[in-house]
Amino acid sequence: MIGFNGVVPVVSSLLFLACAGNRPADQAQFGINLVARKLKNQLKEVAESVVSVQTRVKYNVQKFYYTLDNGQFIPDRESPVGYKLEPGKGNSGVMLEEDQKTLSGGALVIRHDFASGKYTLLTSSHLVAPQDTTDLYYLDENGAQTDALFARYIVTDVSISVRVSTSRNVEADLICRDDGIDLAIIEVQTQRRPGPDFRRRVGYNMDLNWGDWVFIFGYPQGVKQLTGGWVSRGPYRSTLAVDAVVRFGYSGGAVFAVDEDIQELVFVGLIKSVPRSTFDYVGPDVRLPIGYPLGPDDIDKLVVKSEMMVDYGTAYFVHPKAVKRFFERKRPELEAAGIQLSAKYYGR
């Protein structure tokens, strides 16, 4: 048996087939173990083609401070944000800062050009091409978003890298993307391979639906891990849902299913997102030492912090037919960049 409860239906069907051959029970059991071992070996094989991607994003941050009247924002038609800004803060109510963050996830190696040493990888668009500008807004007393701008994050630099066999990160280039279905293709040139190109089949013809099982590779906290779960219909266009325990770092992670006709693993999509919620709390300024005793006069040393929390138990991945459409639409761009993919990625 494989260490996943979700594989039981596959093994059970194999038991039925083995018994149907009227073989002795010990031979039937031996046959099941061989198939289980075959699936394990296939998982080990495809795991080598799932590699780590990191994107370092630098921002210019504008934070907005307002003049309040009895705790209320004051409308101001002359203000660029619609409310009266506090002139004593920064540049007329706008404080300028710099910030950066690192996004981590996975990618599937879909091509290796031996002559040039270039590797082509399929990953998530949001992982390697973050939005140019992100706006955050103040919340009201009920936690609902207001139209008062709190901060604006403007991307100034994006650096994509892929982990190679020496555990070093090598810079990668963005070739093309589709933000609508959240897919992108990147390319890295290196003599230290990130992983072999994916050699197995693509499951465009699989009609994944309720009750199907999928395996998922990702990089939570930068460590490659395998999980899996049952498929459900996705609530969003071109997506399917899976009840897997997926955390930050699974973006761009490859999803595989067992094709019952050939009893082999096939590629069926990429993890797109997980349900999230925001945890807001009041904490001390990060410059205060640990154990600093706060007193009544330290109110100005408190800051409102916000942490993104994953709602465990559900993840969404790009439908295999949407993956096919992505490759078909991007084929001219890829070939213009000198990238000739295997015909299987175009459904041939």
**Per-residue pLDDT reduced to its tens digit, 254-291:** 999 999 888 899 999 999 865 445 556 667 766 667 77
Question: Percent of the chain scored above 70 by pLDDT?
Answer: 82
Question: Percent of the chain scored above 90 by pLDDT?
Answer: 61
The tokens of 152 are what? 């604006």
pLDDT at 35: 56
pLDDT band at 2 (very low <50, low <70, confident <90, very high): very low
Burial class (CB in 10 A: 0-12, 13-18, 19+), 138: middle
Q: Looking at residues 197-211, what average pLDDT do you find?
A: 93
Other beta carbons less than 10 A from residue 40's beta carbon: 13
Helix and strand numbers (H, E) in the chain are 4, 17
pLDDT at 13: 36
Rounded Cα distance between 133 and 149, Å, is 13
Q: Which of 164, 301, 321, 173 is nearest to 238 (CA)?
A: 321
Residue 311: pLDDT over 80:
no
- Residue type present at position 64: F
Q: Which of 278, 276, 279, 280 is nearest to 311 (CA)?
A: 276
pLDDT band at 98 (very low <50, low <70, confident <90, very high): very high
Q: Looking at residues 82-108, what average pLDDT do you find?
A: 92
Residue 315: pLDDT over 50:
yes
pLDDT at 63: 93
pLDDT at 296: 74
CATH number listed for the domain at residues 48-275+311-346: 2.40.10.120
- Indicate whether this model's pTM tops 0.85: no
The tokens of 184 are what? 């992108």
> Could you tell me which residues are beta bridge partners of residue 54?
104, 161
Of 60-74, 253-267, 295-309, which gets the smallest average pLDDT?
A: 295-309
Q: How far is CA 317 from CA 233, 236, 243, 280, in A?
A: 10, 10, 11, 28
Q: Looking at residues 303-312, what average pLDDT do you find?
A: 58
Rounded Cα distance between 326 and 174, Å, is 15
In the chain, CATH 2.40.10.120 covers: 48-275+311-346
> Could you tell me which residues are beta bridge partners of residue 309?
277
pLDDT at 37: 86
* CB contact at 8 A, 161 and 172: yes
Residue 244: pLDDT over 90:
no
Mean pLDDT (the chain, rounded)? 84
The one-character DSSP state at 300 is G
What residues contact residue 165 under an 8 Å CB cut-off, 6+ apart? 192, 193, 194
pLDDT at 31: 45
The DSSP H or E segment spanning 123 is: strand 118-123
pLDDT at 278: 56
Considering 18-22, 145-149, 169-173, 301-305, the range whose residues carry the highest mean pLDDT is 169-173
pLDDT band at 140 (very low <50, low <70, confident <90, very high): confident
The tokens of 309 are what? 């929390």
Rounded Cα distance between 310 and 194, Å, is 29
Q: Which of 180, 202, 175, 203 is nearest to 330 (CA)?
A: 175
The tokens of 233 are what? 């219909």
Rounded Cα distance between 276 and 274, Å, is 6
pLDDT at 151: 93
Residue 180: pLDDT over 60:
yes
Tokens 């490659």 label which residue?
Answer: 224
> Could you tell me which residues are beta bridge partners of residue 302?
284
